[in-house]
């Protein structure tokens, strides 16, 4: 491998960090280490690694909290490496945003294969690097992104945004938004749409992303934010 990944290992056991570093270093990856969750987040913010390998059972900030915080910061692949092999622990970690879960003690060939797999998947999902503020929907993971920022949306906000993104800037009538946000509701109130879109608009604006803009008495469409005017 001519150009390895930058991998951040977050684990409170120095021996485990050393074992992982030696393994991934043998195939050309570069490793940085953090020995607790808070330190791991600081390393992540400073270095923006290509991959995170994360332990769950750590003193202070636990691994699930770290995983959630990392996922809010971006789409970097996360592999949980934990001694907990129960299905419930795996499900909880994946729901928190992990891309894969490997139990300790791990097989060397397996861990390297998992690293290759998650990086391939991420590359396939983002063939083109998203423009800052551009909105994209990951239906498989039920996630919405503005650039590389994960949007924290309610289920209704997600459904409304999905409908607007699918329209690619075209007008979405009120009736279509009601059907998207409240499927199966026999008599949805048109007034339901406005407050949900107002909250969605605030989240998108905070991320400098396209916003749902009303077309009076007809519907909404997503409009990209305008760049600031250049001084003359």
Are 165 and 179 a contacting pair, CB within 8 Å? no
Q: Give yes or no for residue 197 having a pLDDT over 90.
A: yes
Single out the residue of 178, 180, 140, 179 nearest to residue 158, CA to CA: 180
229, part of any domain: no
Residue 17 shares a structural domain with residue 71: yes
In this structure, what CATH number is given to the domain that contains residue 58? 3.40.50.2300
Q: Given 125, 146, 178, which residue is the final one in a domain?
A: 125
Residue 23 shares a structural domain with residue 109: yes
Single out the residue of 5, 86, 16 nearest to residue 52, CA to CA: 5
Are 199 and 209 a contacting pair, CB within 8 Å? no
Residue 179 shares a structural domain with residue 217: yes
The first and second tokens of residue 147, run together, are: 């650039």
Cβ partners under 8 Å of residue 45, min gap 6: 73
Q: Which range of residues forms the domain containing residue 13?
A: 6-125
Q: What is the DSSP letter of 171?
A: -
Residue 27: its pLDDT value, please? 93
130, part of any domain: no
Q: Given 72, 99, 125, which residue is the final one in a domain?
A: 125
Chain mean pLDDT for the chain = 87
- For residues 99-118, give the mean pLDDT: 92
99, part of any domain: yes
Residue 10 shares a structural domain with residue 120: yes
Q: Using 50, 70 and 90 to split pLDDT, how confident is the model at 231?
A: low
Residue 226: its pLDDT value, please? 58
Q: Give yes or no for residue 1 having a pLDDT over 50.
A: no
Q: Give yes or no for residue 228 having a pLDDT over 70.
A: no
- For residues 132-161, give the mean pLDDT: 83
Q: What is the DSSP letter of 35?
A: S
Q: Using 50, 70 and 90 to split pLDDT, how confident is the model at 90?
A: very high
Give the other-Cβ count within 10 Å of 78's Cβ: 25
Residues 11-56 have pLDDT tens digits of: 999 999 999 999 999 999 999 999 999 999 999 988 889 999 999 9
Are 70 and 96 a contacting pair, CB within 8 Å? no
Cβ partners under 8 Å of residue 68, min gap 6: 96, 97
Residues 50-80 have pLDDT tens digits of: 999 999 999 889 999 999 999 888 778 999 9
Residue 108 shares a structural domain with residue 156: no
Find out whether the peptide bond into 128 is cis, omega within 30 degrees of 0. Answer: no
Residue 112 shares a structural domain with residue 139: no
Q: Give yes or no for residue 160 having a pLDDT over 50.
A: yes
Q: Give yes or no for residue 124 having a pLDDT over 80.
A: no
**Overall domain count for the chain:** 2
Residue 120 shares a structural domain with residue 152: no
């Amino acid at each position: 491998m001519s150009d390895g990944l930058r991998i951040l290992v977050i684990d409170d056991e120095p021996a485990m960090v050393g074992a992982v570093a030696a393994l991934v270093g043998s195939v050309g990856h570069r490793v940085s280490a953090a020995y607790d969750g808070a330190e791991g987040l600081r390393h992540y913010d400073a270095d923006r690694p290509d991959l995170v390998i994360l332990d769950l059972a750590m003193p202070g900030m636990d691994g699930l909290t770290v995983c959630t915080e990392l996922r809010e910061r971006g789409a970097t692949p996360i592999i949980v490496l934990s001694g907990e092999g129960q299905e419930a622990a795996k499900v909880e970690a994946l729901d928190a945003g992990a891309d894969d879960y490997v139990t300790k003690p791990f097989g060397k060939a397996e861990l390297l294969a998992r690293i290759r797999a998650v990086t391939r998947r991420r590359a396939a999902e983002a063939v083109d690097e998203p423009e800052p503020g551009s909105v994209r929907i990951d239906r498989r993971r039920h996630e919405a992104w503005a650039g590389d920022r994960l949007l924290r949306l309610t289920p209704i906000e997600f459904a409304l945004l999905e409908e607007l993104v699918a329209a690619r800037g075209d007008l979405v009538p009120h009736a279509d938004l009601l059907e998207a946000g409240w499927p199966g509701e026999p008599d949805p109130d048109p007034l339901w749409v406005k407050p949900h879109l107002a909250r969605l608009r605030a989240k998108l604006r905070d991320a400098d992303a396209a916003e749902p803009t009303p077309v009076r008495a007809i519907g909404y469409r997503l409009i990209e934010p305008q760049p600031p005017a250049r001084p003359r």
